[in-house]
Amino acid sequence: MAVGDVVSQVSSSAGANFTFQPASGVQVCITQFITSSAYNDMIQGRGNINTTNALQITQGSSSGNQHIANWSAVSHKFFVDNSSYLYFDGYSGSYAGFSGIQTA
């Protein structure tokens, strides 16, 4: 992979969890989080952004300050690297993922 390449991942099956941790020296700007349903999917920080809940996201909902309305259609700028990365905790029956661009 090189700077400018598109990076993306979607859970391998409904409700599956996965970690996205770029290789050492690689940085990725996530530009969009995606989901397949209106259920709660959680994105948790790991490493330098170690959190229980970085974001709890419900498609099409704006309730609560951790929710992002219509998150499958909203663009974001979220930088991750080998030290600050993300864990996707998928809700039963839904797929979650992201797309972004390698920046370093």
For every residue of 73-91, DSSP letters joined together read: G-EEEEEEESSEEEEEEPP
Provide the strand spans (E) within 1-104: 6-10, 18-20, 27-35, 40-47, 55-58, 75-81, 84-89, 96-102
Q: What was the pLDDT predicted at 100?
A: 94
Longest dimension (CA), the chain: 38
Segment 50-99, tens digit of pLDDT: 766 556 555 554 444 444 444 444 556 889 999 999 888 877 777 888 89
> How far is residue 3 from each of residues 14, 26, 84, 101, 103, measured CA to CA in Å?
31, 9, 18, 8, 5
Domain ranges of the chain: 6-102
* 6-102, CATH topology level: Jelly Rolls (2.60.120)
Per the DSSP assignment, residues forming a β-bridge with 87 are 19, 44
Residue 102 has pLDDT above 50, yes or no: yes
Predicted TM-score (pTM) of the model is 0.76
